Amino acid sequence: MYEAKPLSDEDSQRLFFKRLFCSREDCPGDLRNVSSDILKKCGGLPLAIISIASLLANRSQTKEVWVSTLKSISAAVDKDSPIDKMNRILLFSYFDLPHHLKSCLLYLSVFPEDYLINCRQLILLWVAEALIPGQERESMEQLGRSYLNELINRSLVQPIKVGADGATVETCRVHDVILEFIASKAVEDNFVTIWNRNGFSENYSSNKIRRLSIQEDISPRAEEMAKTIKNAAHIRSINIFGFNSVLGKHASDFLSSQVLRVLNIDGYIKECYLGHVKSFGQMKYLRIDTDHCKKLPEDIEKLQHLETLDVSSYNRIRKLPASIIQLQRLVRLMVNPYVQLPDGIGNLPALEELSSIDFCIQSIEFVQGLYNLTNLKVLKMCYTILVRDVEGHGKACMSSLSKLFMSLRELYVATIPDAAFMTIMDSCAPAPPPLRKLVIGHNVTFSTVPHQISSLVNLTHLRIGLDGEVSMDGINILASLPMLLSLTVCVPPSTKSILHPRHAINSHGFQRLVKFNFRCWLQTALEFEPGAMPKLQRLKLLLAARCQFKYGQDGLVLGLQNLAGLKHVVLSIDCDAATPAEEVLDLEDDISGAAGAHPNRPILRIERVGRSYTTAQGCSRCPPDHPVLEAQ
């Protein structure tokens, strides 16, 4: 095992105080001496420093509390090796957690090392495992989100991808050292039983297995696994990851528990038959992320407690059993867009999320049934071609979608004729819909920004494609959305005439916008005027090199210095029509200089695209003292 070099005293203090007070100078005077003693106990271990600082951040900032913490740490870590010291500090942090957070933390041991965790899936697993109290689904998810945020605040979970609002963590990961500690504690408390490269966890007992996590191929010891699982009648959840070539042959053994509530398959399982799933009357969560399971059982209606069915990554499936419409508690149904769903979808009164369906392969009876899904909040859909109009199919689609549009919270549209979408948008009048997120796919473009967009006053996230003039009227429509946090505007290549050469973003509108992605393949310039987008933190641009200079009298017209809240910039330079190639170099230098001079010192990434990319290669220049985010 590689042992990292401890941090210096100065670096230890910088890390410690940054977590608690932003800087050492902001630390109250009466806490500075005791903080030095606490740091000595951490031995320069970064993870230990962060763990203790995060623990203190959740306590009163008084000398008495800090001295008490120091005494507790001293009793735990004195004379320990660095590894033992780290484990004892983690144990100290663990025992400081309230009971409900301990359970949620231990559950993270079901995931393998370095696994990127989808936060919403994690919260739904917590809910299915009854780790989140309550009865009302939406409030339980919100409570689960607050639990996750608390674990992140305590530095026990690492946020990886954060949403446009700057607060909602979308993916996370557990540090290897922390995961090893969590797994050890989960096994010790019989909270989780883990199968890895060494087989089962130490000291496991088949009649005590409650939660099983299969993280490695069982092939070398398949018989041991099968025999053990066959006698385990009380397994509540099974999570399967990675490659498993023979596990499918033993499915009847590990799918024998009558009290199974969670089955999460995330990996390669050859010839896995799920016929036994129908006997799991208590199952609440079923997710299949593999192409090697056979079809779902026809009598799936026996899963009367099922709330989540996710087969969205199960690409071989083309049809769902007709009996699925009898699942009265089903809340989330996620399939791939090639799946034909049975008629009678309107018989699912609890359904709140439906994705990703292609309306054109569904029957007219199915489409008409959507009209009755009064609780549906999230819809991911596409409409690939306009067919079946002679049967009234198109009219039924427009009718159901117009009705749903007035109650949906999130709508994702991969493909749809723009005229059809405008018909749906016309249903907004007179009352504004509660829609918060509208994502329109790459295959859907509008000649101008639809004026109906202005009625979506609750919208926080919007992605839209334009195949025409990006006019000031269109910009003003987008700027008028009062709740907008994230905006993506895409303008693909076009053979039409050149658009307005300069788009100016002024101080009117976009008052809450945090993330702005503008991808324009046409020769046009973008400029941020003083006071523009005051809360913008993340800016992602694709722009033509020559146009940012062509329309400015004094060089670059972008105006990064006017974005007061800027933290991250990603600039993609369209090198086509950049003559000479120095235009690309000049744009890179000017952007780097503007970012370097910005008070926030935003992280910058520059990349080149376009057919002329090769003519401008090898010339990227950035000030050596400016932080640069490497391409990922």
The verdict on 106 and 30 lying in the same domain is: no
Mean pLDDT of 513-534: 88
239 lies in a domain? no
**Chosen domain end from 139, 159, 180:** 180
Can you give the pLDDT at residue 448? 87
Residue 296 and residue 277 in contact, taking contact as beta carbons nearer than 8 Å: yes
pLDDT at 470 over 60: yes
Q: How confident is the model at residue 542 (pLDDT cuts 50, 70, 90)?
A: confident
The verdict on 19 and 153 lying in the same domain is: no
Overall domain count for the chain = 3
For 200, residues 6+ apart whose C-beta sits below 8 A from its C-beta are: 193, 194, 224, 225, 228
The verdict on 18 and 139 lying in the same domain is: no
Residue 620 and residue 606 in contact, taking contact as beta carbons nearer than 8 Å: yes
pLDDT at 547 over 80: no
Can you give the pLDDT at residue 497? 44
Mean pLDDT of 512-532: 88
Q: Which residue has the higher pLDDT, 18 or 494?
A: 18
Query: Over 329-380, what HEC string results?
Result: CCCEEECCCCCECCCCHHHCCCCCEEEEEEHHHCCHHHHHHHHHCCCCCEEE
- Tell me the C-alpha to C-alpha distance, in Å, between residue 518 and each of 466, 529, 566: 11, 16, 15
- For the record, the structure tokens of 141 come out as 């998810």
- Tell me the C-alpha to C-alpha distance, in Å, between residue 96 and each of 132, 133, 191, 350: 19, 20, 19, 38
d(CA 554, CA 551): 9
309 lies in a domain? no
d(CA 31, CA 515): 38
The verdict on 158 and 21 lying in the same domain is: no
The verdict on 496 and 603 lying in the same domain is: yes
The verdict on 43 and 116 lying in the same domain is: no
Q: Which residue has the higher pLDDT, 465 or 468?
A: 465
- For the record, the structure tokens of 330 come out as 């089903």
Q: How confident is the model at residue 213 (pLDDT cuts 50, 70, 90)?
A: very high
Q: How confident is the model at residue 615 (pLDDT cuts 50, 70, 90)?
A: very low
Can you give the pLDDT at residue 150? 92
142: CATH: 1.10.10
The verdict on 42 and 135 lying in the same domain is: no
The verdict on 34 and 136 lying in the same domain is: no
**Chosen domain end from 180, 206, 239:** 180
pLDDT at 370 over 70: yes
Mean pLDDT of 211-240: 80
580 lies in a domain? yes
Nearest Cα residue to 564 out of 507, 489, 486, 623: 507
**Order of all β-strands in the sheet with 117-118:** 117-118, 169-173, 158-162
525 lies in a domain? yes
**For residues 443, 444, 447 and 452, what is the CA-based torsion angle, rounded to 10 degrees?**
-170
Provide the domain limits for residue 619: 445-632
pTM for the model stands at 0.84
Can you give the pLDDT at residue 562? 94
**330-356: per-residue pLDDT in tens?**
999 999 998 999 999 999 999 999 999
Can you give the pLDDT at residue 385? 66
The verdict on 175 and 34 lying in the same domain is: no
- For the record, the structure tokens of 339 come out as 């799946």
- Give percent above pLDDT 90 in the chain: 37
Can you give the pLDDT at residue 554? 55
189 lies in a domain? no
pLDDT at 250 over 70: no
404 lies in a domain? no
The verdict on 70 and 121 lying in the same domain is: no
Can you give the pLDDT at residue 624? 33
DSSP structural state of residue 324:
G
Residue 552 and residue 594 in contact, taking contact as beta carbons nearer than 8 Å: no
431 lies in a domain? no
Q: Which residue has the higher pLDDT, 33 or 404?
A: 404
The verdict on 22 and 156 lying in the same domain is: no
336 lies in a domain? no
**Chosen domain end from 150, 180, 210:** 180
The verdict on 108 and 20 lying in the same domain is: no
d(CA 145, CA 235): 26
Peptide bond into 201 cis (omega under 30): no
**441-460: per-residue pLDDT in tens?**
888 888 889 988 999 999 99
Which residue do the tokens 């050469």 mark? 501
- Tell me the torsion sign for CA atoms 70, 71, 73, 77: positive
